[in-house]
Every structure is written in structure tokens, then in C-alpha cells.
A and B are shown apart, each in its own frame.
Chain A
């Protein structure tokens, strides 16, 4: 099992979806939160998940690295295939999975440790055997932060600005050498300049990584993503507040020529 995951970088060269869900539903304490999601994420692309508040975007994102396991009462139905592997099977340890699927959170959340120790944290807990200094430098370079922090690696990560903190969190995620990075509204707490830097960084990173980003900001989805998934609450039963996938396709097509009326309303700002 572990070995299958370890070789994913090779498998990535193919056009096979890196993540594919089949009839995915998530329950919190037996209350349905998202229903019957079928989505296939292309490798080395940026996929944006957009939609109104409370429609389950983050819930969907968090099923991909099984972060929902940490919420008491959360339950998943259906299948999630990561490079063809069912990640909810009993034999798979989510702790091992999470090294391969990095995550960047809404609010920058560096550890109250030095910049170096922040980046080295993931490799250390996963018993990285290579040269740590090199790995830290490479990760910080990839996150476009190296030049700003190379002289103060021993200083606290909390001393950085918000945008720098978020890039530190990206560097930290890259250091465990994942091939998929989940970003949960990574720029929502940042100013426009810092936001732009994160977007540019995402576009650089998709050379080597696949990125799934949840965003409230439609311009951001339009600018940065290749594919967009639009989620919304099920209209048939609006009281139950069940999130569904309304439309999924190429960003360009979804933004200019949406197939669904609800998508169009949302994109043109008529609701949401």
C-alpha cells in the first residue's frame, strides 16, 4: 500500500486523474453535508472550487487528505481514488497519506518556531534521511520566499508578514514532497499584493504539483485556475443545506459559457 503511494510521481506523467471521487457523500453526525460528488482532478493543473458559503467546498477539500477524520462524527460514503488507490480503505493510514497531499489553510498558521524549523517540521516527523539544509532551501525557493528569509532562518516564523507567513506555509507543505497541494482559501486573509504573489506562485508550482484551491474570490478562480468546480446548495431541498457539485469544467468555458443557470447567476453576481 505504502509503496503504491510512494511511486506517484512517476504515475503523474500520465493524464489519469490524480484524484477521482465516485458518489462521494459526507455526513456530520448523520447530517448530510455534501452529496454524491463525482469529480476527477487533472494532474498538473490548478482546479478551483467555488460556490456560496456553507456549500461544502472545504468539506470536499478535506476529504482528499482525510482531514475530516479529525472531526468527531464525520463519515464518508462513496469512493475517493488517489492515483487509483482508494484512500478510505481500512489498510490505508491517513497519517501516511497526508505526507503526499500537502495542505495550506485559510489563515496563515506557521508554527511558533523558527522559519527553518517550520519548513523542516514535516521532513523531521516523517524521518527524512536526506540533507535537511538543502531541502529547506529548495522548499523556500519553490515558495518564492528564500531571498526574503535566507538571512534570518533562525527567526520566528510568526515575525513574518501575513503574505510571507502564507508562503512559509506553502514551503512547509512542499518540504514533505507531496504531489498534490490542497489550498483552503489561501489568500482570503491577505492583502491584494500578497494575494497576487500567491497566485503567481501557484501558477509556477503547477509545473511540478497539482493544486486544488477553494476560493470565495471568483476573479481569483478565473485568473489562476485551469478547471473550476462550482458547488452550491441543493435547490430541491434548500432547508437541509446539502452541498452538491453543480458544474465542473474548463475555467474558461465555465466562466464564459456556463451550462447551468445557477452557475451563471453565481458568476454574474446575481446570488451568493
Chain B
């Protein structure tokens, strides 16, 4: 119709064909979106169908057993929670401090640039690499504390042989504050490895939160005679805190789901007890699920594995919900 109205124009506007093309593209984009959602939904439905019937108090309260109806993932749930909390404890101060330094203090130099690029690169390093690093550095400490190592012989250190051997001492002589060197297969070693893994993500998300603090209130604080640190402590940190927190919770979610580094670290084993302290062995939910999948009975490799995945997903969903809730609650509305 428009062609008729503007027929004399020098434009061959071809409106029908252009609009048809637009509709086709809209359909393609919609189809792509739906395809992703469809596959995800199918996976979720499949898991729920297989596993929902196996969600029971037993699953939460018991540990692995050779009888499927008596088996549970108690030690894995607690292992995961302890591991993630310890990871947050290591990661939060380090990541936020690094983010503050890089955003607020670091001079614009080639070195800063180099660090920036490599933080982004580190966020993309496969997790198994962090597992290897964690095993060497935290788990074994380069074998420095093995019996007959040069260090042990030179200082004549009282090391023990065996699986949880190495050097044990009380830090500052305080009774409860025992340090084990190397960290071995402990929660500490696992959490430190996870911290390495999520540190780049934490730094990046914290930096984004810090950068989002408006220049105007920074200038206002300086204008009133604030030092740089006063400006950061009183303005930048409170305003960026919700964003920082959200980033850390989401990074913790990633740590919760990671399997590969912990398998390397030696958390892939039967741990029928809860960790009593941070030097204990532990196992985690994804590892427990992987364990069940490798067993031949369908009760384990279909139903219990699916039930375990549901539990893991519920915890992850809960953490994401918490992140969204905190962000909405604490966020400054300008």
C-alpha cells in the first residue's frame, strides 16, 4: 500500500521484502532462545523425574552405604558448605583488597595494564590447572616437608611420615591454632585451591562494583578534606558493598559446583565422617554425585545421582537468590 502512496519516489523501498526479512530474523532469534531454554528444561525435568522420589531425610542424614535405600550424602553436603565458607573467608579479603588497590591506587602504567590483562586471563584458566597448582603448592608444598627432604634435614624438623604426615606446630604457641605443613588433603588445602580459582572472578566483579561508584561523591568527599582512604572507607566501600557481595556469592556458587580441582586434590574418596576441623579430609557434593554415577547399580547411577544433583541445584539456587535479595535490599538508589 505504501508503495502506491509514494510511488513517484526515487527510492525502490521494497518494503514488503524488508519487513519479511525482519520477521524471519525475529523468528530465528526467538527459536534460538527457546532451544536453549528447552534443552535446559528437558535436563531439569529428566533429573527431577529420576531423582525426586529419592529425596528423603536419609539422603541428607546418612553417609554413603552399599545399600541404596540407606545411602546419603551427609558428609558431602557439610564438606561442600565448609569448603565454600572457608573459600569465602580466604577470598573475600584478598579479592576486595586487590580490587580496591587496582581501582583506586594503581597508577596507569604498563605494569598495571599487564596485571589487568592477566587477571582476565586467569579467570579463563581451566579449573584442572588450579587443581594441579593447588596440589603442588598447598597439598604437597613441593615436598619440602617430606621426610629426608633437604629442608627437613637441614633444620632437623620433627616431621612425621605417612598420609597426614609432615610438620605440625601450634602457631604463636596458642593451643587450638594448629598448623599442618603441608596442607595435604585437608579442607584448608581445598579451600585455598578454590580461592585461587575464584579469586580472578571476585577481583573482576569487585572492581566493577567499585568502578560503578559515581565520581561525584568521591569528589564531594575529597572536597571536604577526606584522605583517599577515608574516601574509600566511607563512600566507595559502603556504596559498592552490595555489588561486591553479589559477585562473591556468585563466585562461591562456582566453587560449590567445581569438581575437577578437588578430585586432583584428593577429595575423591570415601569420607564417612564430617570434618571435625579444617585439617580433616573432606568430600563434596559434586564428587559424591560423580562417585555414584560410576557405580553399576541403576539406583546409584540414575536415581541417587539425580537426587544429589537436585540438592546441589537447590543450594546453588538458594545462593543466587540470596545474592539477588542482598543486591536489591542494600543497593543505593540514586
Contact = CB atoms under 8 A, between A and B. Distances in A.
A176 interface: yes
Interface of A: 65, 67, 70, 72, 95-99, 102-103, 105, 107, 109-112, 121-122, 125-126, 158, 169, 172-173, 176
A67 B235 CA distance: 18
Contact of B225 (A105, A110, A176): A176
B216 A121 contact: no
A176 B219 contact: no
Contacts of A72: 107-108
A67 B218 CA distance: 11
Contacts of B224: 98-99, 102, 121-122, 125-126, 172-173, 176
Contacts of A122: 224-225
Contacts of B332: 112, 158
Q: Is the interface of B mostly helix, strand, loop or mixed?
A: helix
B223 A112 contact: no
A125 B224 CA distance: 8
B226 interface: yes
B333 interface: yes
B220 A109 contact: yes
B108 A102 contact: no
B220 A102 contact: no
A126 B223 CA distance: 12
A99 B226 CA distance: 8
Interface residues of B, number: 22
B216 A95 contact: no
A126 B219 contact: no
A249 B107 CA distance: 42
B214 interface: yes
B142 interface: no
Given A67-B223, A121-B224, A109 B216 contact: yes
Interface of B: 107-108, 214, 216-217, 219-227, 230, 234-235, 238-239, 332-334
A67 B226 contact: no
Contacts of B108: 72
A109 B227 CA distance: 18
B216 A105 contact: yes
B131 to A, nearest CB: 40
Nearest to B107: A72
Closest 3 CB pairs of A and B: A99-B225, A122-B224, A103-B223
Contact of A98 (B107, B223, B234, B238): B223
A169 B219 CA distance: 12
Contacts of A172: 220, 224
A98 B221 CA distance: 10
A36 B216 CA distance: 29
Nearest to A66: B222
Given A121-B234, A158-B334, A173 B219 contact: no
Contacts of A97: 225
B225 A169 contact: no
Contacts of A103: 219-220, 223
28 contacts: A67-B219, A67-B222, A67-B223, A72-B108, A95-B225, A95-B226, A96-B225, A99-B224, A102-B223, A103-B219, A105-B216, A107-B216, A109-B220, A111-B235, A112-B238, A112-B239, A121-B221, A121-B224, A125-B221, A125-B234, A126-B225, A158-B332, A158-B333, A158-B334, A172-B220, A172-B224, A173-B223, A173-B224
Contacts of A107: 216
B222 A111 contact: no
B46 to A, nearest CB: 47
Contact of A95 (B214, B220, B227): B227
A23 B181 CA distance: 65
Nearest to B334: A158
Contacts of B220: 103, 105, 109-111, 169, 172
Contact of B230 (A105, A125, A176): A125
B142 to A, nearest CB: 42
